Structure formats: structure tokens, C-alpha cells
Amino acid sequence: DGGITQSPKYLFRKEGQNVTLSCEQNLNHDAMYWYRQDPGQGLRLIYYSQIVNDFQKGDIAEGYSVSREKKESFPLTVTSAQKNPTAFYLCASSISGRAWLNEQFFGPGTRLTVL
Amino acid sequence: GQNIDQPTEMTATEGAIVQINCTYQTSGFNGLFWYQQHAGEAPTFLSYNVLDGLEEKGRFSSFLSRSKGYSYLLLKELQMKDSASYLCAVRDLGRAGNMLTFGGGTRLMVKP
């Protein structure tokens, strides 16, 4: 079955540690996105990538880093510079940036808690 | 910039109809999406409007008025499983790629 996977579903880390969240898709989508969701709030864009080996900062990129070495994979690293990293992290993908409908498909999310 | 507003919470009764409103301000409107998100899960796509009017899909309908910067999601024959958050998101020509800007979401509670 095609889809987007994120692992793990729950992640606990100590303050000051970097942590990498995985996101894999087998939908053959060109574009991938990382969002952060805080309780009772909407999704905020962290980083996005429209093509392999290229990515752009979103609205709240500070304290995060990404890579896009393969079309299927878009891992997100939450660094120790991120002041408030505890949140629900959602990865999404879409066919490309310019199609008519081109809705984004979301993975199941990773809930990161920094202790 | 973009600004998207929707009510924080709504409550409705099983079997009833509920309308969730969304207003937006954007420099280059290029479509409005509604997503459903159950607690702790991924958002799932419900509807897309880019032209004015009503799009109907089963029990769910979505309406758009571009001149008013306004959309609503209409849910009919409410079921308990419709208890979820409903996210309004706007795509803006002024933003690169397919980036969406999301509202804060409306948490709908359906009561028996």
C-alpha cells in the first residue's frame, strides 16, 4: 500500500540532545513538508522540499534542519537550539508544487517530548 | 501575509447539521482546503474549493466566496465519529510551491 510513514510515534529526549524524526513516502511524490502542531493550534510549516537535494525554510525553521538525499525520504532533525521542541510533528507530501488540486497527504505524526 | 480565522470549538447533537466557518485574508488566493483531524492522528483531506460555490461530497459540503474571503464546511446527519478538529487551509500564489497556511482548527464535539 502507498503512503507516508513516520517513526517513532512517540519519542522522548533529554534537553540539549539533537533528535532526528524520520519520514518516508512511497507515493512517488516530488514535494515533502514538515509541520509542527502545538495543542489547540493549527499546523505551522518548518521546512519543505520540492525536489531531491533541494529544500527551503518555512515559517518556523529556527532550531531545525533537514536533508533530502532521496525522493522517498525527508528526515527532520530537532537541534538543541530549538527552544521549545515538545510538539506533534507531521510530515506531508504532494505530487508537485503546481498541479490543480494537489492536496497534501499526511503521515501519522511523531509526538516528541523533551524532558 | 496571511490570516485565517475559524472558531476554536463547537458542539452539536448527533443527527443534526453543523456549519464551521473560515475567513481568510491572502494576497494571491489559489484554493482552500478542509481537513479532518482526529486527536493524535494525521489530518485527512475532506474538500477543495478554488471557484465560488458549493462542493458537495456525501454528508460533507464546502462553500467558497472569494470576494468575501469566506468558506464554510457543512456537516449533515452528524455522527459521533465526526467529533474531530476541522482545519481550514489556504494556498497562496504568493508563496512558493504548494505551501498551505493553516487556521488554528475548530474542535467539534458531537453529543448523543
Please tell me the predicted confidence (pLDDT) of residue A97: 56
B11 in contact with A at a CB cutoff of 8 Å?
A: no
The closest CB to that of A45, out of B41, B43, B99, belongs to B99
CB within 8 Å: B107 and A40: yes
What is the distance between the alpha carbons of residues B111 and A108, in angstroms, rounded to a whole number? 26
Q: Which residue has the cell 473560515?
A: B22
How many beta carbons lie within 10 A of that of residue B16, not counting itself? 12
Backbone phi, then psi, for B80, in 5-degree steps? -60, -35
* Cα dihedral sign, B48-B1-B101-B8: negative
Task: List Cβ neighbours of A16 (8 Å cut-off, separation of 6 or more).
Answer: A80
A61 in contact with B at a CB cutoff of 8 Å?
A: no
Of A6, A44, A21, A9, which Cα lies nearest the Cα of B105? A44
How many beta carbons lie within 10 A of that of residue A18, not counting itself? 13
Tell whether the model's pLDDT for residue A11 goes beyond 70.
yes
Per-residue cell: A105: 497527504
Which residues of chain A neighbour B46 with C-beta distances below 8 Å? none
Tell whether the model's pLDDT for residue A99 goes beyond 60.
no
Tell whether the model's pLDDT for residue A68 goes beyond 90.
yes
Confidence of residue A1 (pLDDT cuts 50, 70, 90): low
pLDDT tens column, B54-103: 999 999 999 999 999 999 999 999 999 999 999 999 988 767 666 788 99
The Cα-based distances of B52 to B4, B24, B66, B71 in angstroms read 18, 14, 6, 9
Average pLDDT, chain A: 90
What does R_g of chain B's alpha carbons equal in angstroms?
14
DSSP helix, strand, coil percent of chain A (3-state; round to 5): 0, 50, 50
Of A66, A109, A63, A87, which Cα lies nearest the Cα of A13? A87
Min Cα separation A64/chain B (Å): 18
Q: Over range A85-112, report the average pLDDT.
A: 85
Please tell me the predicted confidence (pLDDT) of residue A81: 86
Please tell me the predicted confidence (pLDDT) of residue B20: 98
Among A1-5, A28-32, B75-79, whose mean pLDDT is lowest?
A1-5
Q: Over range A14-37, report the average pLDDT.
A: 93
pLDDT tens column, B2-52: 689 999 999 999 999 999 999 999 888 889 999 999 988 999 999 999 999
The Cα-based distances of B37 to A52, A69, A100, B80, B87 in angstroms read 29, 30, 23, 14, 7
The closest CB to that of A56, out of B31, B96, B103, belongs to B96
Does residue B6 contact residue B104 with C-beta atoms inside 8 Å?
yes
CB within 8 Å: A31 and B98: yes
Please tell me the predicted confidence (pLDDT) of residue A56: 92
Which residues of chain B neighbour A111 with C-beta distances below 8 Å? 40
What is the distance between the alpha carbons of residues B65 and B54, in angstroms, rounded to a whole number? 9
Confidence of residue B110 (pLDDT cuts 50, 70, 90): very high
Among A69-73, A99-103, A107-111, B63-67, whose mean pLDDT is lowest?
A99-103
CB within 8 Å: B87 and A104: no
Please tell me the predicted confidence (pLDDT) of residue A101: 62
Tell whether the model's pLDDT for residue A14 goes beyond 60.
yes
What is the distance between the alpha carbons of residues B34 and A55, in angstroms, rounded to a whole number? 26
